[in-house]
Structure 1
Amino acid sequence: MARTFNKVILIGNLGRDPETRTLPSGAKVTEFSVATTESYTTRTGEKVEQTTWFRAEAWERLSDIASQYLKKGDQVYLEGRLRMEEFTDKEGNTRSALRLRVMELNLMGSGGRNEEGGFTPTTASTSSTPAPTAAATPAAPRPTTPVTPAFNSGSDEDDLPF
């Protein structure tokens, strides 16, 4: 059997506030909708914007983070697995939607503002190792001249230190 892979990365905006529920098993799931927008110009010069909506679900630890920090309009970076879901709407029509099972969540934009108005990135993942976070302070400037290591073997030969 051939190996398959399903990983999706989305950067989009929340279309509604997250809704959290607890299943009879005790598992927590938070659901929210995310919109991505693509713009392009047609051959006739008309500018077109196309929005795609995704239903996202975050489980357990990510559910807690999503319900606590996300709100309608926030921009988020999401990684996860995508699947097509079919359902029946209130009028009885069969509809379909793309559902994303969130495996990594990164709050972007104003969602990560701290009390002083500075940006504090928040990253969460379902993996057991902590996700990397960006520093809130700017990085030190890089030197403009190349730096050579201060290694001297004590002889004029090209000796390697290993």
Structure 2
Amino acid sequence: MLNKAQLIGHLGRDPEVRQAKNGQGAVANLTLATSERWKDKTGETQERTEWHRVVLFGRTAEVAGEYLNKGALVYVEGRLQTRQWQDDAGQDRYTTEIVTDKMKMLGGKNGSAGNSQKAPTSKANFDDDLPF
């Protein structure tokens, strides 16, 4: 059977990183927004944003905590998993998460790919060194 999710989206808030209670290293929780756009019958552009819970483990979780911030653009790949717990009132609660195998940062530290520096331009006359 196949259980695979691949998403590209922006973080809705800074990652929440903690140490696992069982001593197996870091765990990070991300809130990832993906958006879909379409035109309705009147030609108006519509947009719907979906919010996804994403869980990272180990060194990947540590990297997320160090380098990702709210608004960062990231790619995640993993599997869907539903957890169950009881709240304080004894009610059963459920949440579905993407437990990641891969995470890639798709921009600078603040999520914008425009953080790269431009190479300095030189006004030197390169023709001076040519032998012809």
> Do they superpose with TM above 0.5?
yes
Per the alignment, in what secondary structure is the counterpart of residue 56 of structure 2? strand
**Aligned partners of 1:75 and 1:111 also within 8 Å:** no
CA deviation profile, 1:38-88 (whole Å, cap 9, x unmatched): 010112223210111101110011111111111100000111111345667
Quick one: which of 12, 16, 20 aligns to 2:17?
20
Seen in structure 2, the aligned counterparts of structure 1 residues 47 and 111 have a Cα distance that, compared at 3 Å, is same
After superposition, residues 2-151 of structure 1 pair within 5 angstroms as 4-27=1-24, 28-85=26-83, 97-111=95-109, 117-118=115-116
Number of matched residues?
113
Residues 94/75 of structure 1: CA separation in 2 closer, same or farther (3 Å cut): farther
- Take 2:46 and 2:109, find their aligned partners in 1: how far apart are those partners? 28
Verify the 8 A CA contact 1:30 1:59 in the aligned structure 2: yes
More strand by share: 2
Output the CA distance in 2 between the equivalents of 1:75 and 1:37: 12
Residue pairs, 1:148-159, within 5 angstroms: none
In proportion to residue count, which structure has more helix?
Answer: 2
d(CA) in 1 for partners of 2:38 and 2:93? 27
Larger RCO (alpha carbons 8 Å, 6+ apart): 2
Moved more, 69-78 or 42-51: 42-51
Deviations 1:9-65 (A, max 9, x none): 100000010111112211220111000000101122232101111011100111111
| TM-score, L = length of structure 1 | 0.59
In structure 1, give the amino acid aligned to 2:79.
Answer: R
Q: Report the Cα distance in structure 1 between the residues aligned to 2:43 and 2:91, rounded to whole angstroms.
A: 36
On the 8 A contact 2:4/2:78 being kept in 1, the answer is: yes
Distance 1:25 1:6 in 2: 26
The question of whether the paired residues in 2 share the 8 Å contact of 1:14 and 1:75 is answered with yes
Structure 1: stretches of 5+ with no match in the other structure: 120-162
TM-score (norm 2): 0.72
CA distance in 1, matches of 2:93, 2:42: 33
Alpha-carbon RMSD across the aligned residues, in angstroms, is 2.7
Using the TM superposition, give the Cα deviation of residue 97 of structure 1 relative to its aligned residue in structure 2, in angstroms: 4.5
> What is the rounded CA distance, in whole Å, between the counterparts of 1:108 and 1:13 in structure 2?
10
- Give the percent of matched residue pairs that are identical in Structure 1 and Structure 2: 36
